[in-house]
Amino acid sequence: MPQTEGSTARTEHDAEFVALLNATWFGANLPPEAQVRLVGLARRYQAPAGTTLLTEGQLANEIGIVLSGRVSLRTLVPEQGWVTILTVEPGDIFGQSALVPPYRSTSTVVALQPVDVLALDGPGLRAALAADHDLAAVLYPRVLQALARRLNATRLQMLDLFAR
């Protein structure tokens, strides 16, 4: 990325975002080039408790990295109402459906506490991953790790171990 005059503000902004990424297990210790690419696709937002961040079935336009606060993944079960399947804690991601066709959220994501989120633009990230194999090579393992962890948790939850 060419350095241009007057980009100090942008650079400071990027450095702050890189620091934020490094504070999460998902984003920490990525190569500097990869971090710069991600920061270029990122926005940061805060939301109060109770905010619906994503709705099941709707397009997931962003992957969120929770910086602070707690986010719940919910699904509506007829006769049971809303059931919380999992909570996402600081450092972990939600909205990874933005990377997987048909890019629609598989659960409804609601902030349980005031949250601070670093969000990566979905279409932009997809394009970057398709074009930049170095980025793909370092980022996909993180995404896989997050998914595998979630899959493993889901299996154990499904066993309903504490029912016995």
Partner 1 sequence: MTSSAVTTVTTEPRRGTGFLPRAEFQHLIDLLGEDGRTVIGPTVADGAIVYGEVRAVSDLPVGMGAEQSPGRYRLVDHHDERYFAYAVGPTSWKRFVFPPTLDLAESHRDEHGHVSFGPVHHEIPKLAFLGVRACELAALGIEDRVLLGGPYTDEDFRKRREHALIVAVQCAEPGGTCFCTSMGTGPGVRGGHDVLLVELADGFLVSSGSEEGAGIVARLGLSAATEDQLVEGSDQLVAARDRIGDPVATAGLHDRLLAKLDSPRWAEIADRCLACTNCTAVCPTCFCTSVSQRSDLDGRTAVTERRWDFCFTKGFSAVALGGNFRPRVQDRYRQWLTHKFATWIDQFGTSGCVGCGRCITWCPVGIDVREELNLIAPPPVLGTEAQVAAHAPRTSVFHVDAVRPETHDTVTLALSTPDGMDWSRLHGEFVMVSVPAIGSIPISISRRLPTGMELTVRAVGPASTFVTGLERGAEVGLSAPLGHGWPVEAAHDHDVVIVGGGMGFPPLRPIVDEILAHRASFGEVHIYHGARTPSDLLYKEELAAWASRGDLDVGVTVDRADTTWLGRVGVVTQLFDHARWDGSKAIAFVCGPERMIQATVSTLAARGITQDRIFISMERHMECGVGLCGHCQVGPFFVCKDGPVFSLAQLGDVFGREGI
- Please report, as ranges, the residues that interact with partner 1 according to CB under 8 A: 25, 49, 70, 72, 74, 80-87, 89, 91-92, 110, 112-113, 149, 152-153, 156-157, 159-164
Furthest C-alpha separation in the chain: 66
d(CA 98, CA 121): 9
Q: Which is nearer to partner 1, 45 or 82 (CB)?
A: 82
**Nearest distance in Å: CB 142, partner 1:** 12
Alpha-carbon radius of gyration of the chain: 17
72 - beta bridge partners?
Answer: 87, 110
Q: Which is nearer to partner 1, 46 or 152 (CB)?
A: 152
**Nearest distance in Å: CB 86, partner 1:** 5
Type of residue found at 112: L
d(CA 63, CA 80): 28
**Nearest distance in Å: CB 78, partner 1:** 14
**Nearest distance in Å: CB 53, partner 1:** 15
